[in-house]
Structure 1
């Protein structure tokens, strides 16, 4: 499971990001709780998520082409520095009790812009951090494990800190967490391949990336599945402060339990994927995981006691993690090498970029119909989406691949 950690660069990346991501989740939990505590508005709760992720929808194709043209490692170092400055500004604002919702939204937007470049850098650098390409799927799975462990520990710490020390400590902790990640990055000895001088304009490369994805039925269908999941299923997490505070009459600690439960399920799923010896069954994993994801969210909407709700949250984390990680692995291992940055940019756009639109929509839906009804619609829609995908894959993608194999001349 841990074979990718034998590579020095990946090990440094893994340890540095582990600390930083914990701080990020502490801040994310604190922001959601703070905004809902100050406003009591599901719409504004969705708005904060919307502005923090919408840049991924608008900028990801551009970021992918930009990163294909430049040194990915240097771009990632710069994004981490800017993120640290953003975290410092937010920490200072909360420390001095300047509770301005517009300022929080503006800083969330800045972080979203930075993340639209940073996430693609980190994903495309994976292959440069492991010497053996066969260990790439393991590195991706370990990276997902690290992310979701942070999702467990970060909110749990945030819940304790919010109810004891105070909100400002969560934001200060995130600011400090960038110190080890920057230290690890500067210790890495990574050699990124020389970026060839581009003859085409950036806009022409954007078109080439779009045409490439549109022409590959398997990649296109997976990206569309992820986009639909991000639009109507994954945004259910936006409503968890409402579930914790209003439906289960809890505190910040209760909210942190919801976040930690979904993180716990995600870790179990990531461990399973990290131990896979073959990528042969990725599509089967995607279908089963998506059914689990949609079904557990649907059941969550009917849960009347907290332990049952947390159990369904853990199951939803398992499904969501397996779905997104398996799609990521499939794209990275099947996309052409010169198109990898642009292919991953469309993955990020479909994943992080579409979530804010869904978060805004589910916030409005929750205020109109109620939070439980909105979550029930999300879960049901997820089940319908994966059934449509499974039918399309069986009767279009698989058939197309079989026809190509028949038409390929034998040596």
Structure 2
């Protein structure tokens, strides 16, 4: 449960940079959601294929799957302000092209999908940087509130944008919605331009693209705290997101409504999301996180069952309101858990993994749910998705979630600087590091258990091999060995260590009984 002393929901809004970008984000999201309604409804008028209708969602989310890792590396290695500026400008131009082509009557299903994909590409490049800027602007204790506010911003837009978009599309056509979306990017470009971020602390050891990608994957593989929210969010999102690809078909074929009716349905979803985002910070103070997630999944499943059997518009509106409530109540917590699970040096890459999983299942779901609806119908798809949400609760046992409030991820910089006796280049290597311990026999088992945590720490921060050996002739002597790819990568390990890493190392050092500190040796591979 969260601390009762956590800052209130409004605390991040007192920071001018966050407040300006937050308001601009609302404007941009209104335009984006108007565009989404226009694209989805336009596709239903261009084709009768349920698969092509479902592919509208796939086209907008597939870019995250294709370039998500690259976007995460860029968020960690280039100036985030510049990255956000150019990605927003790209989306402005693409949205304007889409508006003009549609207005001229030249739009086809595949042109619509192609330009939707191009918009998704811009969003994919900017998303990790956008989310990583939260901790560039607000203190760590305000991150949950800032994430909730960003969710509110999106869902205020979700409540307003689809309704306006539906009316506009019904009255004047999809081209108008596309043009409004293009104009909306101007607000974000303006806010980004005026933002003056603090100078980022630059490492003396820059990473190349391949090395940064490899370091990010290595961190993911050896961090259960990061894996859990990603896996759980993917499972929830795959089933709960069924309303997105099937929503236009449900509105047209089951409720027999128009584009404005479809937009109104999405507005109810957005309103439910706002209510949830407002309540989540308070719920964390009175309810365990896992219980919030379980209740959210059950509400989402119940809402899908309601949609499966609803044939009246207002019954469906109530069901989709609670679907929106559950959606945000669950996903905001997964997002916060991801952001607080990693140190600053890998935050952009961690968020790209989360967004890849999040958007990847949206892309896959758009294809599969659209295909399945063409064979078994829309209502049975909602029922299958509801069952999947219930079954997915079993993941709670194997991938528990924590907001990591007791984890201090600030750099500790506690490793002493290595004095080199030979000239070394950062590319030299591999390097073998050896640490000698003297451990009393009666404490050996406890020491080995503690060193398991040390292994994960070493591997997360740069090692790719780790072993613990016991001297056969001197059973009290233990040797820890780990290998890194290069001398530069080992020096980066020095910079990546956190205060929590220091606590683990302090616990291991407490077992050492020699007259001096454990001896550390560095060996450079020179042949073979």
The correspondence of residues 97-246 of structure 1 with structure 2, limited to 5 A, is 97-130=105-138, 132-196=139-203, 198-246=205-253
Paired with 2:82 and 2:235, the residues of 1 have a C-alpha distance of: 33
Distance change in 2, residues 1:353/1:394 (3 Å):
closer
- Note the alpha carbon deviations across 1:358-377, whole angstroms, 9 max, x for none: 11000000001111111211
Distance 1:121 1:192, change over 3 A: farther
* Aligned-residue CA RMSD (Å): 2.5
What is the CA deviation profile of residues 72-122 of structure 1, one whole-angstrom value per residue up to 9, with x for unaligned ones?
111011111101001110111112122222211111111121111111111
User: Could you say which residue in structure 2 is the equivalent of 1:55?
Assistant: 63
**Contact 2:232 2:399 survives alignment (8 Å):** no
Rounded to whole Å, the distance in 2 between the matches of 1:17 and 1:373 is 36
CA distance in 2, matches of 1:157, 1:48: 20
Decide whether aligned partners of structure 1 residues 96 and 192 sit closer, same or farther in structure 2, where only a CA change above 3 A counts: farther
**Structure having the larger proportion of residues in strand:** 2
Counterparts in 2 of 1:269 and 1:73: CA distance versus 1, 3 Å: same
Q: Which residue of 2 aligns with 1:318?
A: 325
Distance 1:64 1:209, change over 3 A: same
CA distance in 1, matches of 2:112, 2:311: 33
Shift of 1:283: 3.2
2:378 to 371, 382, 385: 371
Structure 1 unaligned spans of 5+: none
Say which SS state the counterpart of residue 354 (structure 1) adopts: helix
Determine if contact 1:70/1:195 at 8 Å carries over to the other structure: no
Secondary structure at the aligned position of 2:133 is classed as helix
In structure 1, C-alpha distance between the alignment counterparts of 2:91 and 2:380, rounded to whole Å: 36
Q: What secondary structure is seen at the aligned counterpart in 2 of 1:375?
A: helix
Alpha-carbon contact 1:55-1:116 (below 8 Å) kept: yes
* Contact 1:230–1:358 (8 Å) recurs in 2: no
Partner deviation per Cα, 1:335-383 (whole Å, 9 max, x = no partner): 1222211111111011112211111000000001111111211111111
Separation (CA, whole Å) in 1 of partners of 2:29 and 2:49: 27
Distance 1:67 1:351 in 2: 18
- The aligned residue for residue 392 of structure 1 is 398
For the residues of structure 2 that align with 1:202 and 1:129, how far apart are their CA atoms?
Answer: 26
> What is residue 3 of structure 1 aligned with on the other side?
11
Matched, 1:65 2:73: yes
Cα-to-partner distance string for 1:266-314 (whole Å, 9 max, x where unaligned): 1111111245675984333222212222232133212232212111111
Using the alignment, how far apart are the partners of 1:14 and 1:279 within structure 2? 27
Q: Is the 8 A contact 1:230 1:350 kept in 2?
A: no
Question: Structure 1 residues 338, 394: CA separation in 2 closer, same or farther (over 3 Å shift)?
Answer: closer
Instruction: Assess if the C-alpha contact under 8 Å between 1:71 and 1:192 holds in 2.
Output: no
Does residue 25 of structure 2 align to residue 17 of structure 1?
yes
The structure with more radius of gyration: 2
Q: In 2, distance between residues paired with 1:283 and 1:211?
A: 27
Measured against aligned partners, the alpha-carbon deviations of 1:23-67 in whole angstroms (never above 9, x if no partner) come to: 111111011000012212211011121121111112212211122
Q: Report the Cα distance in structure 2 between the residues aligned to 1:385 and 1:255, rounded to whole angstroms.
A: 29
**Residue aligning to 1:28:** 36
Aligned to 1:308: 315
Q: Distance in 2 between matches of 1:45 and 1:182?
A: 31
Quick one: structure 1 residues 278 and 129, their matched pair in 2 at CA, closer, same or farther if it must change by over 3 Å? farther
The corresponding residue for 1:284 is 291
Q: TM-score, normalised by structure 1?
A: 0.92
**Structure 2 stretches of 5 or more lacking a match?**
1-8, 408-448, 454-503, 511-528
State the partner residue of 1:247. Answer: 254
2:382 counterpart of 1:337: no
| C-alpha separation in 2, matches of 1:222 and 1:135 | 19
Aligned counterparts of 2:37 and 2:140: Cα–Cα separation in 1:
36
Distance across 2 between alignment mates of 1:96 and 1:59: 31
Alignment match, 1:87: 95
Q: Cα deviation per residue 1:5-30 (whole Å; 9 max; x = unaligned)?
A: 11010111011111111011111101
Structure 2 CA distance for partners of 1:73 and 1:197, relative to 1, 3 Å: farther
> What's the counterpart of residue 472 of structure 2?
none
How far residue 69 of structure 1 moved from its aligned partner, in angstroms, is: 0.9
Shift in alpha-carbon separation, 1:108–1:279, aligned structure 2, 3 A: farther
Question: More relative contact order in 1 or in 2 (CA 8 Å, sep 6+)?
Answer: 1
User: How far apart are the structure 2 equivalents of 1:167 and 1:334?
Assistant: 41
Q: Deviations over 1:229-258 (max 9, x none)?
A: 233331332111111111111111111122
Counterpart Cα distance in 2 of 1:24 and 1:323:
23
Give aligned pairs, total: 404
Secondary structure of 1:374's counterpart equals helix
Partners in 1 of 2:285 and 2:451 — Cα distance?
Answer: 21
Indicate the residue corresponding to 2:365 in structure 1. Answer: 358
